[in-house]
């Protein structure tokens, strides 16, 4: 299992680099105009936007890394689809863990590209189509485990409140044609 997650990281890294390389355009003038391009968005005036996008980026990377920590025995396909009998019964079946691992790749790469190349606040919008981080949050809600951020424990109530609040804030800012769109 450890070797598998190692190759997964390698795969994520190379694929994200490739996609970033392909996503940049030739037209240097157009690039300079609008601050899109590798690391071009990382200016001091854009720091608040990075702060706005930071929670979602954290969720997306955490959920992607969560999949690599899921235990199970996928290499044995004849094993029935049952919860693995260990200390903590996991709601995800072994095959489901394989699915989740695969789903982690586009989500992680998206987060990485959004961080480096896109206007980063867009990630709060486009992350709505990717289910993995919802599962991660939901399983933490059901287990009543808070999100750990270094020393701090952020309870799930706060997370959900932030999600609802940000939906409204983003709506207001977008209607006023301000950046976080």
Partner 1 sequence: MTLAIATRPVSTQAMRIAFISACLHTVSPAGLFLSAPYAESSFALVNMSGYYLYAVGLRAHYTGRAKLRDTAIVLSGLLFGVAATLRSNGLLNGLIFCYDLITCFITSLRFGDLIKDLRKSVFVVIAGSLLGIGFIYPQYLAYGVFCYPSESRYQRSWCANRVPSIYTWVQAHYW
The binding site for partner 1 (CB under 8 A) comprises 11, 15, 19, 22-27, 30-31, 33-34, 36-37, 56, 74, 77, 80-83, 89-93, 95-100, 102-103, 105-106, 109-110, 119, 124-131, 134-135, 137-139, 141-142, 160, 162-164, 166-168, 170-171, 174
Question: What is the C-alpha to C-alpha distance for residues 155 and 76, in angstroms, rounded to an integer?
Answer: 37
SS3 93: coil
Q: Using the minimum distance from each CB to partner 1, give the nearer residue, 15 or 62.
A: 15
Find, among 7, 52, 21, 42, the residue nearest to 172 by Cα: 52
CB of 18 vs partner 1, minimal distance in Å = 10
Whichever of 74 and 151 has its CB closer to partner 1, that residue is 74
In the complex, the smallest distance separating the C-beta of residue 139 from partner 1, rounded to whole angstroms, is 6
Min dist. Cβ of residue 155 to partner 1 (A) = 15
| Phi-psi domain of 35 (left: phi exceeds 0; alpha: psi -120 through 50; beta: other) | left
Up-side HSE of residue 113: CA atoms within 13 Å toward CB?
21
Rounded least distance, CB 179 to partner 1, Å:
11
Q: State the nearest-atom distance from the C-beta of 61 to partner 1, in Å.
A: 15
Query: Please, which residue, 47 or 134, has the CB nearer to partner 1?
Result: 134
| H or E element at residue 154 | strand 152-154
Question: Can you tell me which residue has the tokens 């979602």?
Answer: 56
Compute φ and ψ for 153, nearest 5 degrees: -110, 115
């Amino acid at each position: 299992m450890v070797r598998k997650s190692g190759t997964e990281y390698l795969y994520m890294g190379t694929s994200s680099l490739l996609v970033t390389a392909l996503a940049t355009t030739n037209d240097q003038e157009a690039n300079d105009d609008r601050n899109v391009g590798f690391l071009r968005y990382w200016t001091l005036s854009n720091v608040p936007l990075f702060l706005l996008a930071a929670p979602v980026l954290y969720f997306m990377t955490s959920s992607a890394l969560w999949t690599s920590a899921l235990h199970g025995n996928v290499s044995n396909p004849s094993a029935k689809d049952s919860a693995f009998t260990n200390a903590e019964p996991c709601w995800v079946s072994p095959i489901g863990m394989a699915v989740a691992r695969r789903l982690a790749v586009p989500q992680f790469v998206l987060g990485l590209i959004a961080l480096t190349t896109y206007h980063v606040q867009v990630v709060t919008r486009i992350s709505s189509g990717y289910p993995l981080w919802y599962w991660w949050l939901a399983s933490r809600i059901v287990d009543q485990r808070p999100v750990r951020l270094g020393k701090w424990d952020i309870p799930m109530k706060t997370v959900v409140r932030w999600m609802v609040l940000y939906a409204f804030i983003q709506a207001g800012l977008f209607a006023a044609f301000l950046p976080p769109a």
